[in-house]
Amino acid sequence: MIPDLKNAFRPFQRSGAHGALYCDGVSLETLGRKYETPLYVYSADQIVERLEMFQRAFKGRDHLVCYAVKANSSLAILKLLAERGAGFDIVSGGELERVIAAVPKAVGRVVFSGVGKTAAEIDRALEVGILEFNVESEAELALLGARAKKLKVRARFALRVNPDVFAETHPYISTGLREHKFGIDIRKAAELYRVAARNKWLELHGISVHIGSQIRSAEPFGAAMERVCKLTVQLKREGIVLKVVDAGGGLGIDYHSGGDAKAVTPAVKVEEYAAAIEKALAGFEGKLLIEPGRFIVAQAGALLTRVLNVKKNGKKTFVITDAAMNDLIRPALYQAYHEVVPVKPRAGRARSVDVVGPVCETGDFFARDRMLKPVEAGDLVALLDAGAYGMAQSSNYNSRFRPAEVLVEGKEHRLIRRREELKDLFATEVLS
Query: What is the Cα–Cα distance from 178 to 185, expressed in whole angstroms?
Result: 7
258 versus 293: smaller Cβ distance to ligand PLP:
293
Crossing angle for the helix pair 219-237 and 186-197, nearest 10 degrees? 40
Q: Is 21 in the site for ligand PLP (CB under 6 A)?
A: no
Of these, 98, 210, 269, 306, which contacts ligand PLP (CB under 6 A)? 210
273 by Cβ neighbours in 10 Å (0-12 / 13-18 / 19+) ranks as: buried
Q: Is 294 in the site for ligand PLP (CB under 6 A)?
A: yes
* Rounded least distance, CB 388 to ligand PLP, Å: 6
Q: Is 50 in the site for ligand PLP (CB under 6 A)?
A: no
Query: What is the Cα–Cα distance from 177 to 179, expressed in whole angstroms?
Result: 5
298 by Cβ neighbours in 10 Å (0-12 / 13-18 / 19+) ranks as: buried
Q: Is 113 in the site for ligand PLP (CB under 6 A)?
A: yes
Segment holding 207, helix H or strand E: strand 202-208
**How many chain residues interact with ligand PLP (CB under 6 A)?**
18
Of these, 65, 68, 359, 406, which contacts ligand PLP (CB under 6 A)? 68
318 versus 334: smaller Cβ distance to ligand PLP:
334
Query: What is the Cα–Cα distance from 355 to 318, expressed in whole angstroms?
Result: 6
Window of 64-72, 99-107, 280-288, 326-334 that interacts with ligand PLP by CB under 6 A: 64-72
* Rounded least distance, CB 114 to ligand PLP, Å: 7
Segment holding 102, helix H or strand E: helix 93-102
Q: Is 89 in the site for ligand PLP (CB under 6 A)?
A: yes
Query: What is the Cα–Cα distance from 30 to 35, expressed in whole angstroms?
Result: 8
Instruction: For residue 360, indicate whether it is catalytic.
Output: yes
Q: Is 140 in the site for ligand PLP (CB under 6 A)?
A: no
Q: How far is CA 98 from CA 31, 42, 78, 132, 400, in A?
A: 26, 19, 8, 17, 24
Query: What is the Cα–Cα distance from 135 to 308, expressed in whole angstroms?
Result: 48
- The footprint of ligand PLP on residues 227-286 (CB under 6 A) is 248-251
Q: Is 207 in the site for ligand PLP (CB under 6 A)?
A: no
22 versus 133: smaller Cβ distance to ligand PLP:
133
Grouping H, G, I as helix, E, B as strand and the rest as coil, residue 202 is: strand
Of these, 32, 176, 293, 387, which contacts ligand PLP (CB under 6 A)? 293
Of these, 8, 51, 71, 382, which contacts ligand PLP (CB under 6 A)? 71
* Rounded least distance, CB 251 to ligand PLP, Å: 6
Grouping H, G, I as helix, E, B as strand and the rest as coil, residue 150 is: helix
Please list the active-site residues: 360
- List residues near ligand PLP by CB under 6 A: 68, 70-71, 89, 113, 210, 213-214, 248-251, 291-295, 388
